[in-house]
Amino acid sequence: MGKDRDDICLWSDRQILGGLELLRATCFEFRYPLHTHDTFVIAAFRNGAQKHQIARRRGVAYPGTVMIIPPGEAHTGESAERDGGWEYSALYPAAGALDALSQELFQESRGSLDFGAELLIEDPEMAERLLAACESAARSPDAIAREEAIYGALDMLIQRYGQRTSASTLRKAPDARIRRALDYIHAHHDQPLRLKHIASQVDLSEFHFMRTFKEQMNVTVYRYLMLVRLNAAKALLAAGNPAAEAAVGVGFYDQSHFTGNFRRYFGVTPLRYAAACR
C-alpha cells in the first residue's frame, strides 16, 4: 500500500450536485474521532481494513466493501491492524440531492430514499465503480467527465440498493426540544455559546439538556457545535475565502485551534482543503 504514511485528499466540487464533497485517502496513523455528517457518507474500500463504530455498532470494512452511512449517524474510523492501514474513497452527497435522483430513477415522488439497515455491503463491482468515479472526479479537468462519473456511480448504487419508502430505516429523528436546540446552534454557531444559553431555549436544566442531547444525537453538545463550525468553515474555504477569515467567521478566535481541529476531524489542513476545491 505504498509508504507508511497518511495521504488524504478532501475537496468540494461545486459543479457536481450543486456542491459535492469527495475524499480519496490512504490512512495509517490517522484516526477519525467520533463525528457526524449532515450528508450521506458513501465509501468504497480498495485496500487494507478499517475498523469503525457506526451508531454504536462495530465492524470492519475490507476491500470490495461499500459503506453507506445516513445523515446524522455518529461514527469513527481507524486501521483495523496495528501496523496496517486502509485505502478508500468517499462521496458526501446531500440527502435532498440523492432523494431527487431517486425520484427520477424510480419515477416516484412519494416517500423518501432509503438504503436499508445494512451499513456495510460486500459488492466489489459497486465498490470499484465508486472508486473509479472518485478518481475521475479528482483527476479530470473536464466538468462533464467528472459529472458523468459521479452520476453514473450514484445511479448504479441507487438502482441496486435504494428504495423509496415511507418506513425509513434512517435513525429516529430527535424530539422537538433537541430539534430547537439544533436550530439554535446552527443559527448562532459563530457566536460565543454557553451550555446554559442553549438549554434555556428548550426549557431544560443544563445537566438534563446535556444528557438528553447525547442520548439522541450520540455526540456531545460541544462536539456537535465543533462540527457545525468546521463544516461552515469548509463552505467558506470552498467559496474562496482566506482561512483566517473563515475561522473568525464561524466562531474560532484562535487560528491554531481552528487548524488543529480541522485537521483532527478531516485529516487535512484548511489550506490544503481550500487548494483542492474546484
Tens digits of per-residue pLDDT, 74-112?
999 999 998 899 999 999 999 999 999 999 988 888 888
Nearest-angstrom CA–CA distance, 258 and 253: 8
pLDDT of residue 18: 86
pLDDT of residue 108: 82
pLDDT of residue 238: 94
In Å, how far from its chain's centre is CA 27? 17
pLDDT of residue 276: 94
Q: Which three cell numbers stand for residue 42?
A: 458513501
Tens digits of per-residue pLDDT, 107-128?
888 888 989 888 999 999 999 9
pLDDT of residue 170: 60
pLDDT of residue 1: 46
**Which parts of the chain have pLDDT scores under 70?**
1-4, 167-171
pLDDT of residue 128: 98
- Runs of H (alpha helix) within 70-194: 95-106, 124-139, 143-161, 176-188
Please report the domains of the chain, with CATH numbers, ordered by start residue.
7-165 (2.60.120.280), 176-276 (1.10.10.60)
Cβ proximity of 192 and 227 under 8 Å: no
Nearest-angstrom CA–CA distance, 17 and 257: 32
